[in-house]
Each structure stands twice: as C-alpha cells, then as structure tokens.
C-alpha cells in the first residue's frame, strides 16, 4: 500500500506539472499574434525610408563607375541625389503630346486618376529634392534601393513619390514605349522585418559555406560548386520529385498540359512530349476496360500504361539532371560577381519546381473536379459489381483470424488512453462540455463516466440497428452521454 500511495502521489504531481506546462503553452500561443502585429506596425512605421528605383541610367552609370574606379560610397550618395533630381526634371520636361498622356492615364487608371498638367509637373520636378536625405544606396536585382534618413522630410518626400511622381513616371514610360531608355520609375517598398532579415542572412551563410572560391580560366574571379553540394542538391530534387508526380524542369516546360498534342522538337523534349498523350490515351483505355469488366483487356492496358509511365519518368529524370547541371554552372558564373545575388533567384526556381501533382499526362490536376469525378466513377463501378475479384483468387490467399476484440466493451485502459489523448483548448459541443473538465475532473468522475460508457455500449450492442439508444434512460441522452461519445471517438 505505501508503494501504491507513492505512485499515486507521483502521478498527481506529474499531472499538475503537465497542466502548468499546458497553461504556459497557451499563454505563449496567445502572445505570438501580438508580437507579430507589433512587428508589422514597426515595419510599416519604417516603410517610408525605403525607395526602389528602376530604369535609372544615372544610378547605373554611377554604380559602374564605383565598381570600376573604386569611388567611395559617400560620393556615390551625393552624386545619386543630384543625378536623380536632374533625371526627374529631364523626364518631366519631355516634349510629349498632352492629349496622348491624358488618354493613356485615363485608360490605365480606369478614369480614377487626374492627370497633372504640364505646369503642375514642372512644379513637382522643381520642388523635388533629395538633398542630404539618402543614407544608403544598394543594388537590388535590375534596380536600386535607396534608404532615406529617418525624419519628417524623408516621410514627406516618400508621400510625394507615392502619390504623384510614381504614376506620372509610369504613364510617361508607357507612352514612350521601348524608346524610353532614360526614364525611371520609383516605387515604395516595405522594410524587411527581423524575421525576413534573419532568413536572408541564413540563406547567404549557407551559400557561403557550400560554395568555394576558385580562380578559373576566363575573365574575373569565378566560383564553382563542389561535388558534395551538387549531390545534396540532387538528393533535394529527388525528394521533391518523390512528393509530386515528377515535375518537369521550369526552364523547359512550366505546364505539362500545354505540351500535349504540340510539336515538341527533337531529342528528349520530343520523346517526353510523345509519351504524354500515350499515357493519357492508355489511361483512358484502362478506365474503359474496367467499366466493361474485361480481364484480358485490363491486363493489356495496365502493361501498356506501366511502359508508358516508365518511358516518361526516364526521360524526365534525364531532363532534370541536365537542368540541375545547367543551374549549377550558372551559379558558378555569377558567384562573387556584381550579379552574385542571382544565386538566390536560382534557389527560388528550385523551390518553384514543387507544385501540385498531376495525372493523365498533365490533363488532370490532383485535387481537381476531374479527379473527384474519377473517384465517383470508381466507387460506382464497385457498387455495381464491375471489377470484382475472381473467385479463383481467394483460395490462394491465406486466411487470418477474425479480430473479435473490436466487439468487446471498452476497457479501463482504453478509456484512460482516450482521456489522455483529448486535446485541450477546444470549444465545447452542443452539451457545452470541455475536454478539460473530463481530463482534470478526478478519479471519481472518471469512474462514473466509464460506468455510463460501458452501460451505453452494452445497451447499444443488444439493440436493433439504428435504435441503439432506445433502452437508454432519458437523463442519459443529455449531459454526460455526449461526453462519453467524445471519448469513444477519441479512443
């Protein structure tokens, strides 16, 4: 008896610890949304400091001069401020037809924006000045990012760009068309928060660890990816392909369904394109054979379908290997160069290769209405007896003992496990009973609920079908009876 007392005391203490841990977990879970909202507010408050500039010939020339001549960044900031001011005045002062500009603005904005007159544009260009506001200039893909100094002047300049300058530059660029090489367009960009910055830093650290520097034949320093990294990327691609139905390389074909019935060229591309309609036609024949219940035709269709799928998978594996090698070589060329950030674009392309699976050579997408119809036909065929197993098959299948324990009433161990597995923090049902009430109600409540559960089970097993509750007392049909049903579902 002392041993049992100690065991019960230990169990009680463990239950108290588990309850406290659950309470702390719920408190932390409630704090996470508040922290996220606070972070979003902080990022939105700092968004005015970041401006993205695209198609700026001035910044492109200054950046090239800095890389070639080694000009200091402080001089770059000053020259960028002056160059952007002058470039904006040049673009706003272009001699363009006002009627064409107004018509283009009305068309693009669906008559929701008022096009500023020439005098207003000249006034905006004269008042626009980034003097002593730029804190940092950096290359960002095909454009540039300007970080302004904190303060009210930068906020006002950001609002001016967002409300009037952005739209004016965009309309002028659309009117000029391909000849507008000197025009540029600015747009606001929300500042990266701590989480985004941490992800970018982790990605760069991984690339620096996996990529080794090497001076190769050619102009300028180059980097090459070692064999271990290639092998790891290959394993990653294999895992991606194993989760979905063998995605095609994005650089060659983004959508398999567009390839069916079209001329795919020569080589592996043409062979893959030829296998797609073959897989589709054989799959269609296989379904027709199942509906007709012809075993010989079904075996032939299954064999043809397996061969077509093997040919398709083999060509796609070869294709993906070539594609992966091309991506690795492209990473070698751009590493440790001004275009080194393109490595992250390559990583995005690899991630984008993961998509929804598809069937029938790309004609049916996983989870689509077409797949639902296929499952509907399948179960209708089963209900109609089409495709039943031949009686000559059953003698070759070994007989197993029938699981009769499923008809036994729930035991105390099953009841305890069901209560232990109940999840906390869930809303109550129609009886407004919570799982916490039963989980922490104590041994007396557990014994009473277990007794009611067994009596309900025994009464239901002795009653006719669909009348399992006819022998239950009236008071059992409300309150704890619903809770016992929940326990039975969990168990």
Residue 207's pLDDT is 56
**In this predicted model, what pLDDT tens digit does every residue of 163-214 receive, in sequence order?**
778 888 888 888 876 334 333 444 444 444 555 555 556 666 655 555 444 4
CA–CA separation, 385 and 398 (whole Å): 24
Residue 354's pLDDT is 52
Taking Cα atoms as reference points, which of 287, 249, 490 lies closest to residue 375?
Answer: 287
Does an H or E element contain 188, and which? strand 185-188
**In this predicted model, what pLDDT tens digit does every residue of 332-352 receive, in sequence order?**
777 777 766 777 777 777 766
Residue pair 324/227 in contact (Cβ under 8 Å)? The answer is no
CA–CA separation, 410 and 439 (whole Å): 18
CA–CA separation, 456 and 476 (whole Å): 9
Residue 165's pLDDT is 84
Per-residue CA distances from 313 to 92, 146, 273, 303, 368 (Å) = 57, 48, 12, 15, 23
Q: Which two tokens stand for residue 301?
A: 């269709």
CA–CA separation, 256 and 244 (whole Å): 13
Residue pair 157/133 in contact (Cβ under 8 Å)? The answer is yes
Residue pair 92/125 in contact (Cβ under 8 Å)? The answer is yes
Q: Which two tokens stand for residue 173?
A: 């660029």
Residue found under tokens 């991630």: 351
CA–CA separation, 215 and 332 (whole Å): 11
Residue 353's pLDDT is 60
**In this predicted model, what pLDDT tens digit does every residue of 458-479 receive, in sequence order?**
888 887 776 777 777 666 665 5
- Low-confidence stretches of the chain (pLDDT beneath 70): 1-6, 70-74, 177-280, 282, 293, 339-340, 351-368, 385-390, 466, 473-491
pTM of the predicted model, to two decimals?
A: 0.32
DSSP label at 257? Answer: G
Residue 220's pLDDT is 37
Residue pair 370/364 in contact (Cβ under 8 Å)? The answer is yes
* HEC assignment per residue over 174-187: HHHHHHCCCCCEEE
Q: Which two tokens stand for residue 358?
A: 């598809």
DSSP label at 162? Answer: I
* HEC assignment per residue over 391-447: HHHHHHCCCCCCCHHHHCCCCHHHHHHHHHCCCCCCCCCCCCCCHHHHHCCCHHHHH
CA–CA separation, 359 and 246 (whole Å): 10
Residue 3's pLDDT is 47
In the chain, where the domains are located? 1-42, 47-192, 208-376, 406-490
């Amino acid at each position: 008896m002392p041993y049992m007392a100690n065991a019960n005391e230990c169990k009680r203490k463990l239950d108290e610890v588990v309850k406290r841990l659950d309470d702390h977990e719920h408190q932390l879970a409630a704090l996470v949304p508040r922290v996220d909202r606070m972070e979003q507010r902080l990022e939105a408050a700092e968004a005015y400091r970041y401006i993205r500039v695209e198609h700026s010939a001035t910044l492109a020339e200054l950046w090239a001069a800095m890389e070639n001549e080694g000009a200091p960044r402080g001089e770059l900031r000053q020259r960028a401020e002056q160059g952007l001011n002058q470039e904006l005045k040049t673009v706003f002062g272009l001699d363009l037809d006002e009627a064409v500009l107004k018509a283009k603005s009305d068309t693009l904005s669906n008559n929701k924006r008022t096009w500023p007159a020439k005098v207003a544009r000249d006034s905006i260009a004269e008042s626009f000045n980034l003097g002593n506001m730029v804190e940092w200039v950096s290359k960002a893909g095909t454009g540039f990012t300007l970080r302004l100094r904190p303060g009210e002047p930068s906020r006002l300049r950001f609002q001016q760009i967002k409300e009037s300058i952005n739209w004016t530059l965009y309309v002028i660029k659309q009117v000029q068309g391909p000849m507008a090489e000197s025009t540029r367009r600015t747009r606001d960009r929300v500042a990266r928060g701590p989480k985004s910055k941490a992800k970018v830093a982790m990605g760069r650290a991984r690339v620096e660890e996996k990529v080794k520097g090497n001076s190769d034949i050619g102009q300028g320093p180059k980097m090459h990816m070692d064999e271990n990294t290639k092998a790891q990327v290959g394993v990653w691609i294999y895992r991606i392909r194993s989760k979905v139905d063998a995605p095609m390389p994005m650089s060659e074909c983004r959508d398999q369904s567009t390839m069916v019935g079209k001329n795919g060229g020569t080589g592996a591309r043409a062979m893959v394109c030829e296998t797609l309609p073959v897989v589709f036609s054989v799959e269609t024949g296989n379904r027709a054979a199942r509906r007709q219940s012809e075993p010989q035709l079904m075996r032939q269709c299954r064999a043809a379908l397996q061969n077509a799928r093997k040919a398709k998978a083999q060509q796609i594996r070869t294709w993906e290997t070539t594609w992966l090698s091309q991506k690795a070589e492209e990473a070698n060329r751009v590493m440790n160069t001004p275009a080194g950030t393109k490595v992250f674009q390559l990583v995005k392309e690899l991630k984008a290769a993961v998509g929804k699976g598809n069937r029938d050579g790309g004609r049916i997408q996983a989870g689509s209405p077409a797949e639902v119809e296929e499952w509907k036909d399948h179960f209708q065929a089963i209900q109609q007896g089409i495709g039943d197993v031949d009686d000559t098959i059953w003698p070759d299948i070994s007989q197993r003992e029938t699981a009769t324990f499923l008809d036994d009433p729930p035991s105390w161990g099953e009841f305890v496990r069901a209560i232990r597995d109940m999840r906390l923090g869930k809303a109550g049902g129609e009886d407004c009973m919570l799982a916490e009430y039963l989980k922490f109600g104590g041994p007396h409540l557990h014994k009473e609920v277990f007794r009611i559960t067994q009596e309900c089970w025994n009464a239901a097993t002795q009653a006719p079908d669909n009348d399992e509750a006819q022998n239950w007392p009236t008071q059992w049909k409300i309150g704890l009876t619903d809770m016992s049903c929940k326990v039975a579902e969990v168990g």
